[in-house]
Structure 1
Amino acid sequence: MEARNGVLAMVGACVIWGLSSMYYKLLAHVPPLEVLGHRTLWSLVFFGLVLAAQGRLTEIARLVARPRALAVVFLAALAISTNWFFFIFSIQTGHAVEASLGYYIFPLVAVALGFAFLGERHSAAKWVAVAMACIAVAGLTWGLGVAPWASLALAGTFGIYGLLKRAVPAGPVVSVTTEVLLLAPLALVWLWGVHAQGWTGLTGRHLATFGHDLSDSLLLMLSGPLTATPLILFSYASKRVSYATVGLVQYLNPTLQFLVATMVFREAFTPWHGFAFALIWAALALYSAESLRQERASRRASISVGTSGTT
């Protein structure tokens, strides 16, 4: 029962993540930094309410009181906010296909980061998968005449975020709440500038929609629960199912993003995109098969050790 509920929670999280591009497309007329500012603030409100209901707000205070941990959380906050910005910007500017490619690439980027910064040792099969991803990106760059910067930015920032999160001595909900708490002053300053000073940001557009348009205001407020709910589901699932299962189900997210981009948004999908995605999918199949093999071998070894310990 617990494992089944865990898988269902993981599927729910990935469905929300995978379909969230349609939500951000509804806000394509709102400058991305304005959307990001509201996403930060309303996420803080929602997460704060969740922790308050659980009686866990003091955990934030304990985390903030540790200077080293606070520094890591701040770096993680910068990484995830950059990731959020690139995702919002990609959807708004018609690069949702690239965004989905970025989240397909992420597990393979994580292999390289784990080797470079954590001293992790990987099998030859996983390195072949990483090499296939590199060839896919190089081929797409050659074919389109420009690198898929959005894909690389999303995969890279999310990989760095995951690396930093390993060093945070707190659960995912507490750590993310602290992250948006640290980002909240920046978001407030930016939204003040947008509403009071007419700041336009990177796009040169000025809207200041919140409080002036009811539907847009409600959509911006929805960004809080839309950000928090899948993370809470993911946290629930990760405690109840194996890591390999989490990794496999997580591919539902970029798959749904890809389907939305090509079938709903009708974005261009060239033969070069076909080449890159086919190679990435093959790489992920190899990576997943190797991960499952390693998990089964580890499980058998644990059972063997446990059995020998009782004889």
Structure 2
Amino acid sequence: MQMEKSGVLWAGGSYIIWGFMPIYWKILEHVTSVEILLSRVVWAFILTLLLVLLMRHGRYLKEDLQTLWRSQRNFWGLFCASALVSTNWFMYIWAVNHGYIVQTSLGYYMNPLISVLLGVIFLKEKLSGAQKIAFLLAATGVTILTLSYGVFPWLAFVLAATFAVYGLLKKQIKLDALRGMTIETLFITPFALMYYIWLFVDGRAVFFHADVKTDILLILTGVATALPLVMYAKGVQRIPLYMAGFLQYIAPTIMLFLGVIVYHETFGKIDLLSFSFIWSALLLFTASKVLEVLKAKKNNLSEEPI
């Protein structure tokens, strides 16, 4: 029980940080989304590498790289995962700093449903009747939004899809969370450094060309990236998967609150209607998963010898 409580604190804390992250990116809105992404990649790599070395796990990191290289499928799978999560980070930062926090919230509400759909398609997982209804409800919500906007909410979909495919790839590659993130950022860091050098040469880099506050905030993007991911990794190891899935709705709920209440983004009756369909889908989906787990536990107990 104590282990589960600490797991909820770790995982819940990570989602709370992710939920309030738009405030951080808003403070840096005078910096281009590309440069924020470059800083995030480079400083996250430096931070995670330092942590690995301080923990004296350098040889394990080397072994992980060697193991990955021997399995080219896993090596390039993780490379693709790294590219996808970098794309997700960029789109998220761009969306926040261009007044689309509500759409980012929608994207992260859609994420678990797309993840399950990918599981059905690629991992041959089965859906219950309730889960199929949940997908129909979510699809109805997205359709209403599409008709009201006149265009498909592509930003929300890209955020949801990139993170869902990233999760699918990561699920098939077993790595320690901290070392795995070090390797992921290692893949992208050379490209990020080359682009950053070009920004400096072209005179468009803000880093070292603005104020000290901006420089510190750009450096701390590494902490903002790594801290919640490490907290999440520690948390999900100690709690059931369905509980982790339920907790992940904390982040988009906070984002939605920030977008509407703090940053005054539009959220009319049509938005409320479509979000209501998606919230209903998530509640139905989560409830069905909880019932599945409880039923499985009950069956296991009844099968145990007296």
> Which TM-score applies when normalising by structure 2?
0.95
Measure how far apart 1:197 and its partner are. Answer: 2.3
Structure 1 contact 144–272 (Cα < 8 Å) conserved = no
Measure how far apart 1:133 and its partner are. Answer: 1.1
Decide which of 163, 170, 177 is 2:175's aligned counterpart.
170
Q: Deviations over 1:199-222 (max 9, x none)?
A: xxxxxxx4x111122111111111
Unaligned runs of 5+ in 2: none
Where 1:11 maps in the other structure, the secondary structure is helix
Decide which of 266, 276, 283 is 1:285's aligned counterpart.
283
| Residue 113 (1) aligns with residue 110 (2) | no
Measure how far apart 1:243 and its partner are. Answer: 1.0
Where 1:217 maps in the other structure, the secondary structure is helix
| CA distance, structure 2, for counterparts of residue 169 and residue 236 of structure 1 | 15
- Letter aligned with residue 210 of structure 1: F
- Letter aligned with residue 277 of structure 1: F
Report the equivalent of 2:219: 221
> Which TM-score applies when normalising by structure 1?
0.94
- Matched length: 300
Decide which of 217, 237, 243 is 1:239's aligned counterpart.
237
Between 183-192 and 263-272, report the one with greater CA deviation: 263-272
Decide which of 254, 257, 269 is 1:256's aligned counterpart.
254
Measure how far apart 1:235 and its partner are. Answer: 1.0
Report the equivalent of 2:102: 97
Measure how far apart 1:293 and its partner are. Answer: 0.3
Where 2:220 maps in the other structure, the secondary structure is helix
Measure how far apart 1:162 and its partner are. Answer: 0.4
| CA distance, structure 2, for counterparts of residue 216 and residue 146 of structure 1 | 36
- Letter aligned with residue 37 of structure 2: L
- Letter aligned with residue 140 of structure 2: I
| Residue 88 (1) aligns with residue 86 (2) | no
Measure how far apart 1:64 and its partner are. Answer: 2.0
Measure how far apart 1:84 and its partner are. Answer: 0.4
Report the equivalent of 1:143: 148
| CA distance, structure 1, for counterparts of residue 162 and residue 133 of structure 2 | 23
- Letter aligned with residue 32 of structure 2: P
Structure 1 contact 39–224 (Cα < 8 Å) conserved = yes
Measure how far apart 1:59 and its partner are. Answer: 2.6
| CA distance, structure 2, for counterparts of residue 226 and residue 193 of structure 1 | 25
| CA distance, structure 1, for counterparts of residue 62 and residue 218 of structure 2 | 28
Measure how far apart 1:46 and its partner are. Answer: 1.3
Between 125-134 and 36-45, report the one with greater CA deviation: 125-134
Report the equivalent of 2:59: 58
Report the equivalent of 2:206: 209
| CA distance, structure 2, for counterparts of residue 299 and residue 52 of structure 1 | 41
Measure how far apart 1:89 and its partner are. Answer: 0.7
Report the equivalent of 2:201: 196
| CA distance, structure 1, for counterparts of residue 302 and residue 55 of structure 2 | 40
After the TM superposition, list the runs of 4 or more consecutive aligned residues in structure 1 that deviate by more than 6 angstroms.
none
Measure how far apart 1:245 and its partner are. Answer: 1.2
Report the equivalent of 2:132: 127
Unaligned runs of 5+ in 1: 199-205
Between 250-259 and 64-73, report the one with greater CA deviation: 64-73
- Letter aligned with residue 104 of structure 1: Y
Where 1:247 maps in the other structure, the secondary structure is helix
Measure how far apart 1:72 and its partner are. Answer: 1.3
Measure how far apart 1:264 and its partner are. Answer: 1.0
Identity among equivalent positions (%) equals 32
